[in-house]
């Protein structure tokens, strides 16, 4: 769910001379997650720190970006701005006091963790979603990729992986004097990831490049995941709140607000997508995904309901508008999400963090498990929601909605909301992250304990 971003091309390709302000570097594979970093700028500035984002877009993840630009208030640089475009070169040039990552599951990010550890640079893994909306308790997970679709997805990334990612990681292993166990894990993880399986397992070694120095998760529901999947110690996991809530206009007054009232007719439902087809998951191809949306819209129309659609940012929105023209689907922009939910009677959702918003409002939710999505499984956070139901037959939607309305347990729903809203107030999420960054740097002698 990326925000509407405006970019301003900067001049020059080299970092400025070191200033007295503490330097925090965000590191990511592309610019589409820039909003996760930009929201931290004011809170970090109040602590005497400046933040910039360095990304690997020119490696093939986000081609065509300038070497240097601004996205909103965030200073952004492509890795190509640093001489030989190496991770080591970037660390030498920027000399960050703390490095923040949104993911540590790719080999390029793991290479960065190795270099940071070698240089005693503390690292923070900042979760960019609520993981336990998915199934994390077994190898199958929530999806289980289609072999053909996943093979095509892997093939589309193979050039970049062979040209950039794997050589980068192999070089990091060599330069950081990796152990035999590290090399063995590299081979095993490469095979697992090629097969569409997670490289992370409960047996993760906390001394390996599979983990960062500290972790920040949205809610208590993901603390166990951080500990068991990435080998974090419990004391190194911070609960900072769900930034999607404030980003889309959620506040404490709206929590549970839909338990007391419903919008007037006509019947409207919002479908919240999570971009499965773009990751080689579930659907064989884009045509099958379009067919799924068309089927859903027509089924809702048969119930006298209109369908709105909140897309994952990985989609080409204009392409989908053209493909869905005449089907009766209204595509919802980020800025219109909350108003769209307020006029919707229920949501159909896939396993996505954004599904937490209708849940925290107290709306009825259906978990898409019909047609091609019949193989989808949903995590404990969603499955414990009192007003949520699996929808295995889209033709039964009206019946299931009427049943849900007649058995609404408001008290149980409010208990779920209190447990899953995360720390309050909602808008202080960035302050909590900035405090964690400050503590992390201070513990390693790199950032002042107060400022």
pLDDT given at position 156: 59
Q: What angle do CA 248, 415, 261 make, to 5 degrees?
A: 60
**Can you spell out the DSSP letters for 199-244?**
S--TT--TTSTT--SEEEESSGGGHHHHHHHH---GGGEEE---HH
Banded pLDDT at 450 (limits 50, 70, 90): very low
Banded pLDDT at 19 (limits 50, 70, 90): very low
Query: Rounded mean pLDDT of 254-276?
Result: 93
Report the predicted TM-score, pTM, of the whole model to 2 decimal places: 0.84
Which tokens is 99 given? 């490095």
pLDDT given at position 201: 53
Closest CA to 3 of 27, 37, 29, 50: 37
> Which range among 61-70, 141-150, 156-165, 435-444 shows the weakest confidence by mean pLDDT?
141-150
Highest mean pLDDT among 10-14, 122-126, 256-260: 122-126
């Amino acid at each position: 769910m990326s925000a509407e971003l405006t970019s301003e091309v900067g001049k020059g390709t080299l970092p400025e001379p070191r200033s007295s302000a503490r330097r925090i570097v965000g590191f990511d594979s592309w610019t589409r997650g820039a909003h996760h970093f930009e929201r931290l700028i004011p809170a970090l500035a109040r602590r005497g720190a400046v933040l910039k984002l360095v990304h690997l877009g020119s490696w093939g993840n986000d081609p065509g970006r300038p070497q240097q630009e601004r996205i909103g208030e965030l200073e952004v640089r492509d890795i190509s701005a640093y001489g030989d475009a190496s991770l080591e070169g970037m660390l030498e040039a920027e000399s960050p006091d703390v490095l923040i990552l949104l993911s540590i599951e790719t080999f390029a990010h793991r290479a960065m963790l190795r270099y940071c550890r070698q240089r005693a640079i503390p690292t923070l893994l900042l979760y960019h979603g609520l993981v336990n909306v998915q199934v994390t308790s077994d190898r199958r997970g929530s999806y289980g990729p289609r072999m053909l679709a996943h093979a095509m997805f892997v093939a589309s990334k193979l050039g970049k992986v062979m040209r950039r990612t794997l050589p980068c990681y192999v070089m990091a292993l060599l330069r950081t004097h990796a152990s035999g166990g590290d090399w063995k894990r590299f081979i095993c993880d490469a095979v697992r990831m090629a097969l569409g399986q997670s490289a992370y397992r409960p047996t993760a070694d906390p001394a390996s490049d599979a983990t960062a120095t500290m972790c920040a998760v949205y809610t208590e529901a993901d603390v166990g995941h951080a500990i068991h999947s990435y080998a974090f110690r419990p004391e190194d996991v911070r609960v900072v709140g769900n930034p999607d809530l404030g980003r889309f206009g959620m506040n404490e007054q709206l929590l549970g607000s839909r338990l007391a009232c419903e919008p007037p007719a006509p019947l409207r439902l919002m479908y919240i997508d999570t971009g499965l087809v773009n990751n080689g998951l579930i659907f064989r191809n884009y045509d099958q995904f379009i067919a799924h949306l068309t089927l859903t819209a027509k089924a809702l129309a048969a119930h006298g309901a209109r369908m709105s659609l909140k897309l994952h940012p990985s989609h080409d929105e204009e392409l989908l508008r053209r493909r869905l023209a005449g089907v009766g689907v209204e595509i919802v922009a980020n800025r219109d999400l909350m108003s769209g939910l307020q006029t919707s009677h229920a949501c159909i959702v896939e396993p996505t963090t954004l599904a937490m918003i209708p849940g925290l409002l107290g709306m009825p939710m259906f978990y898409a498990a019909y047609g091609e999505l019949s193989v989808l499984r949903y995590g404990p956070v969603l499955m414990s929601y009192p007003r949520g139901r699996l929808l295995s037959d889209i033709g039964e939607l009206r019946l299931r909605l009427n049943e849900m309305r007649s058995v609404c347990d408001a008290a149980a729903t409010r208990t779920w909301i209190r447990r899953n809203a995360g720390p309050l107030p909602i808008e202080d999420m960035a302050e909590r992250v900035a405090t964690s960054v400050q503590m992390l740097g201070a513990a390693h002698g790199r950032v002042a304990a107060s400022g």
